[in-house]
Amino acid sequence: MKTRQSGVTLIGMLIIIMVVGFFGYMGMKLIPAYTEYMGVVKAMNGVASSGTSGRSLDEIRRDLLRRMDFQYVDDATVKPTDITIDRSSGGASTLKVSYQKDIPFLYNVDFLLSFEKSVPLQGNVAQ
């Protein structure tokens, strides 16, 4: 009676390891950028909930950048010019942070990630 072996060959196993390794390497490169973005969101929510009555845009930017330092957000990631305040006709203000992050991957292949988040501010922002 002949028995037939089944399973993965050596070449098949190497291909599986290469695919898993590729996606693992990609995850190792991308996950820190997304955890940094979560720090930006947490800092923005903290600024929005603290109240902004009578504060200027520069004061809000300084407070947000200080809070992002506590969240381990790199200074080169979010620049002060990436932080804006949009005012609607009803008087409500929205804090908006929009930035891009370039992550080198392999040789001349890079990932360009675009992040944008806005949160409503409590109180009136000074001009």
Number of domains in the chain: 1
Query: pLDDT tens, 43-82?
Result: 999 998 887 777 888 888 899 999 999 988 888 889 989 9
Task: Pick 104 or 51 by higher pLDDT.
Answer: 104
Domain that holds residue 88: 10-120
| 4, part of any domain | no
Look-up of token digits 């996950």? 31
- Is residue 102 scored above 90 in pLDDT? yes
What does the block give as tokens for 101? 């992050």
Provide CB contacts within 8 A for 52, sequence distance 6+.
60, 93, 121, 122, 123, 124, 125
CA 52 from chain centre, in angstroms, equals 24
| 57, part of any domain | yes
pLDDT, residue 126, reads: 66
| 62, part of any domain | yes
| 127, part of any domain | no
Distance CA 32, CA 58 (A): 28
User: pTM of the full predicted structure?
Assistant: 0.82
